[in-house]
């Protein structure tokens, strides 16, 4: 057995940096079981609970840390604001440990002085709940930041577009976290709503990478003679192109943080149902990821006359497509683009700050 039966690490992990991982590794080396708890009131999609959980899962798995509970509190569940008092945070963590995770801890691992008060609070809390005496110790790790001189607050203020800040991020973030700093931007909309023209204009003006619509190129290649089995392939190829672009950005240290996506598997799902009346189960799964996988979704409304390019259907078809997208994406945050093409382009530039 190790020195402690159960230990605790609490952090924002927004973002998860090399100092955090060193602390977690050290705690895991001292405990038979480790709880890694994370919550934060920072309102930034790149630090969502989903993203932080994925980071922690990857980090622990890569370091063979097996006996750990990753407890990332969902964004839509109550938790204290970052600015609340220490006592409020201590109370929240203590109650969650005892009533939600059904555990006590014998050690709290931090790199900050606040850990002493936290450990004392937990000691008193557990003593009031159970008969057996439990002393929670504070184990201080690398307070002077000798091993990893890095600050999460500083990282949050940095801009990947600024060269020296990008280098600092690359040095102090794990590869899988640094890669996630590049954001996928989806342009979604029915036929003839300007999404391709808009995405291409943003690409030209910003020099961000653009992932064109694979399905359209394939449709033209087979002269419109699509087969049922083509549809899943089209969706997979679209996603492969996106992931290849993310990898390219990382490998080349591309200074532009956005990957512009002119299509998604959701569009393929619509066409598959329209053409064949049914879709593969796996295509449905890939399409559903459209609701969560993109950092920004710009929705192009059909608010100007349809332009026929030889491959498009008619106004009724465009209306069905628009209704399908809006129904499917109900509840998902989307930025609506309306007005002239120039209006829509300017709205995108304003949101992305490019």
Q: What is the CATH number of the domain that holds 302?
A: 3.40.50.300
Is 173 domain-assigned?
A: no
Is 172 domain-assigned?
A: no
How many structural domains is the chain composed of? Answer: 2
Same domain, 191 and 336: yes
SS3 state at 184: strand
Q: What is the mean pLDDT of residues 160-180?
A: 83
- Host domain of residue 326: 182-352
DSSP states along 86-144: HHHHHHHHHHIIIIIS----SEEEESSTTHHHHHHHHHHHHHHH-SS---PEEEE--TT
Q: Does the pLDDT of residue 304 top 70, yes or no?
A: yes
Same domain, 249 and 323: yes
Q: What is the mean pLDDT of residues 54-73?
A: 92
Domain's final residue, options 97, 122, 157? 157
- CA distances (Å), origin 64, targets 19, 28, 338: 18, 10, 50
Q: What is the mean pLDDT of residues 305-325?
A: 81
Is 135 domain-assigned?
A: yes
Same domain, 281 and 143: no
Same domain, 191 and 144: no
Same domain, 142 and 189: no
Give pairs for 286-289: CB < 8 Å, separation 24+.
Answer: 286/232, 286/235, 286/236, 286/239, 287/235, 287/328, 289/265
Q: How confident is the model at residue 311 (pLDDT cuts 50, 70, 90)?
A: low
Is 104 domain-assigned?
A: yes
Q: Which of 155, 157, 170, 184 is nearest to 250 (CA)?
A: 170
Cis peptide before 199 (omega within 30 of 0): no
User: Tens digit of pLDDT for each residue in 218-227?
Assistant: 999 999 999 9
Q: Does the pLDDT of residue 146 top 80, yes or no?
A: no
Query: ∠ CA 78-80-86 to the nearest 5 degrees?
Result: 155
Q: What is the CATH number of the domain that holds 60?
A: 3.40.50.620
Same domain, 348 and 231: yes
Same domain, 152 and 117: yes
Q: What is the mean pLDDT of residues 27-52?
A: 91
Same domain, 188 and 329: yes
Same domain, 86 and 122: yes
Same domain, 193 and 153: no
Q: How confident is the model at residue 164 (pLDDT cuts 50, 70, 90)?
A: confident
Task: Give CA 99 to chain center in angstroms.
Answer: 29
Is 270 domain-assigned?
A: yes
Q: How confident is the model at residue 308 (pLDDT cuts 50, 70, 90)?
A: low
pLDDT at 277: 97
Same domain, 132 and 189: no
Q: What is the mean pLDDT of residues 171-196?
A: 90
Same domain, 142 and 195: no
| Crossing angle between the packed helical segments 195-206 and 341-352, to the nearest 10 degrees | 50
- Quick check: pTM over 0.75? no
Q: What is the mean pLDDT of residues 106-126?
A: 95
pLDDT at 186: 97
Is 164 domain-assigned?
A: no
- CA distances (Å), origin 307, targets 88, 149, 263, 303: 58, 57, 19, 12
Pairing of strands 209-211, 183-189: unpaired
Is 219 domain-assigned?
A: yes
Is 313 domain-assigned?
A: yes
* Beta-carbon-side half-sphere exposure of residue 66 (alpha carbons within 13 Å): 2
User: Tens digit of pLDDT for each residue in 214-253?
Assistant: 999 999 999 999 999 999 999 999 999 998 988 888 777 7
Percent over 90 (pLDDT), the chain: 68
pLDDT at 147: 75
Q: Which of 206, 222, 204 is nearest to 214 (CA)?
A: 222
Which stretch, 51-60, 173-182, 268-277, has highest mean pLDDT?
A: 268-277
């Amino acid at each position: 057995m190790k020195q402690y039966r159960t230990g605790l690490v609490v952090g924002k992990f927004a973002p998860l940096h090399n100092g955090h991982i060193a602390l977690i590794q050290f705690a895991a080396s001292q405990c038979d079981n480790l709880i890694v708890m994370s919550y934060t009131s920072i309102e930034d999609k790149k630090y969502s609970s989903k993203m932080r959980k994925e980071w922690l899962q990857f980090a622990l798995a890569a370091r063979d840390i097996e006996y750990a509970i990753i407890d990332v509190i969902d964004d839509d569940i109550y938790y204290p604001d970052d600015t609340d008092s220490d006592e409020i945070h201590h109370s929240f963590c203590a109650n969650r440990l005892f009533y939600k995770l059904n555990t006590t801890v014998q050690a709290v691992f931090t790199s900050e002085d606040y850990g002493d008060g936290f450990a004392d609070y937990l000691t008193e809390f557990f003593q009031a709940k159970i008969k057996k005496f439990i002393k929670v110790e504070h184990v201080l790790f690398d307070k002077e930041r000798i091993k990893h001189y890095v600050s999460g607050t500083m990282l949050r203020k940095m801009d990947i577009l600024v060269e020296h800040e990008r280098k600092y991020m690359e040095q102090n973030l794990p590869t899988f976290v640094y890669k996630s700093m590049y954001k996928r931007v989806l342009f979604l909309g029915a036929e003839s709503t300007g999404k391709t023209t808009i995405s291409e204009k943003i690409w030209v003006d910003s020099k961000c990478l653009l992932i064109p619509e694979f399905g359209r190129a394939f449709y033209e290649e087979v002269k419109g003679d699509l087969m049922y089995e083509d549809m899943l392939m089209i969706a997979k190829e679209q996603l492969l192109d996106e992931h290849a672009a993310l990898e390219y950005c990382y490998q080349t240290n591309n200074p532009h943080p956005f990957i512009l996506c002119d299509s998604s598997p959701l569009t393929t799902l619509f066409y598959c149902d329209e053409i064949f009346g049914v879709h593969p189960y796996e295509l449905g799964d890939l399409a559903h990821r459209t609701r969560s996988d993109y950092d920004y979704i710009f929705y192009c409304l059909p608010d100007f006359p349809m332009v026929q390019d030889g491959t498009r259907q008619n106004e009724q078809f465009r209306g069905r497509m628009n209704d399908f997208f809006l129904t499917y994406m109900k509840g998902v945050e989307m930025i609506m683009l309306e007005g002239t093409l120039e209006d829509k382009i300017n709205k995108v530039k304003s949101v992305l700050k490019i």
